[in-house]
């Protein structure tokens, strides 16, 4: 398909998302964004999935970014209301998955491709990988929260070096500055990520998911949502909550006991 596709495979407790447009270096199209949105919703509601792998077909690129043919002909208002806004919704949904997500970068991760990788909790890069915010080389700016996520990950100075020059860096440099968490040899990315996923999946899943939310809150992401969720989860298990629900159903005044 010229518009590409995104595939989902679930093996026991590990879900694998695969960008499947290798002939176009897995460049993202509106169709692929819609599929990523649907897949994220499915994974988020699957209680058996404990870890997510974000991968790509082919050995040349993880994702070369947003397909130029898909956005270059858009009117400014359509660029805003469809391409940028929809992309934000999709990338935020991926970043906010309950389950930890590991991105496997086996080639180029440029522009929107790097922004996509930044939605993952952990990034595994093969030694030949190249990563960059390359938007300024074609006259645009990062549009899918790449700058925001990158500043929080590696700081403003290093983000400016990447975003203002548009120059890519290799996996070793990406690891040195904290953009990549694990490096490995060529062709070893998927197996390395699978082993890491298996280790995470073997841990207590609720504790893992709560820990991911705590880290996000510490970074300023969804702090109020994290507090609300954890407080609500605690409150619903109290005797007072059980009494409140029972009294509502029985149409009587509750007798709370601070317990």
Cβ count within 10 A of residue 124: 31
Q: What are the start-end ranges of the E strands in 1-99? A: 5-11, 14-20, 51-56, 61-63
Locate 32 and state its tokens.
Answer: 């692929």
DSSP helix/strand/coil, 136: helix
115 is catalytic: yes
List the catalytic residue out of 135, 173, 191, 255.
135
Question: For residue 78, what pLDDT is reported?
Answer: 63
pLDDT tens-digit readout, 84-98: 778 888 999 999 999
The domains of the chain are located at 5-201, 205-250
pLDDT, position 194: 98
Residues 131 and 114 sit within 8 Å (Cβ to Cβ)? yes
Give me the mean pLDDT over the 107-122 stretch: 97
> Where is 103: in which H helix or E strand?
strand 101-105
| Cα distance between residue 127 and residue 208, in whole Å | 29
Inform me whether the pLDDT recorded for 1 exceeds 50: no
Q: What is the enclosing helix (H) or strand (E) of 174?
A: helix 171-176
Residues for the chain: how many in total?
A: 259
Q: What percent of the chain has pLDDT over 90?
A: 67
Asked whether the beta carbons of 46 and 78 are under 8 A apart, the reply is no
More confident residue, 2 or 29: 29
Query: Under CATH, domain 5-201 is a member of which superfamily?
Result: 2-enoyl-CoA Hydratase; Chain A, domain 1 (3.90.226.10)
Q: Which comes out higher in pLDDT, residue 243 or 124? A: 124
- Is residue 131 within 8 Å of 105, Cβ to Cβ? yes
Q: For residue 202, give Cα distances in angstroms to 5, 54, 156, 256.
A: 30, 19, 36, 40
Give the phi and the psi of residue 169 in degrees, each rounded to 5. Answer: -125, 160
Q: What per-residue confidence (pLDDT) applies to 140?
A: 83
Q: What pLDDT, on the 0 to 100 scale, is given for residue 74?
A: 62
Please state the pTM of the whole predicted model.
0.90
Alpha helix positions (H), 98-143: 112-117
**pLDDT per residue over 144-201, tens digit each?**
888 999 999 999 999 999 999 999 999 999 999 999 999 999 999 999 999 999 999 9
Residue position matching structure tokens 């440029």:
110
135 is catalytic: yes
**Per-residue confidence (pLDDT) for residue 227, from 0 to 100:** 75
State yes or no: pLDDT of 215 exceeds 60.
yes
Give the pLDDT confidence score for residue 240 in this predicted structure: 82
The β-bridge relationship of strands 108-110 and 5-11 is unpaired
């Amino acid at each position: 398909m010229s518009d590409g596709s995104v595939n989902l495979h679930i093996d026991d407790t590990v879900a694998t998302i695969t960008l499947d447009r290798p002939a176009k270096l897995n460049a993202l199209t509106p169709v692929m964004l819609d599929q990523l949105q649907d897949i994220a919703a499915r994974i988020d509601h699957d209680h058996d999935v404990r870890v997510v792998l974000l991968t790509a077909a082919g050995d040349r690129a993880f994702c070369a970014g947003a397909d130029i043919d898909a956005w270059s002909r858009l009117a400014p208002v359509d660029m805003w209301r469809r391409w940028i806004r929809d992309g934000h919704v999709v990338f935020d949904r991926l970043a906010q998955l309950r389950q930890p997500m590991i991105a496997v970068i086996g080639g180029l991760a440029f522009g929107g491709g790097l922004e996509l990788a930044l939605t993952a909790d952990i990034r595994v890069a093969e030694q030949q990988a190249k990563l960059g915010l390359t938007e300024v080389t074609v006259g645009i700016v990062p549009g899918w929260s790449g700058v925001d996520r990158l500043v929080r990950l590696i700081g403003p100075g290093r983000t400016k070096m990447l975003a203002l020059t548009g120059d890519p860096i290799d996996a070793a440099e990406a690891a040195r500055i904290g953009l990549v968490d694990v490096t490995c040899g060529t062709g070893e990315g998927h197996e390395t990520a699978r082993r890491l996923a298996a280790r995470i999946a073997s841990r207590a899943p609720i504790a893992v998911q709560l820990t991911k939310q705590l880290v996000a809150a510490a970074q300023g992401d969804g702090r109020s949502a994290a507090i609300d969720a954890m407080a609500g989860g605690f409150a619903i298990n109290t005797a007072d909550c059980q009494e409140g629900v029972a009294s509502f159903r029985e149409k009587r005044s509750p007798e709370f006991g601070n317990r």
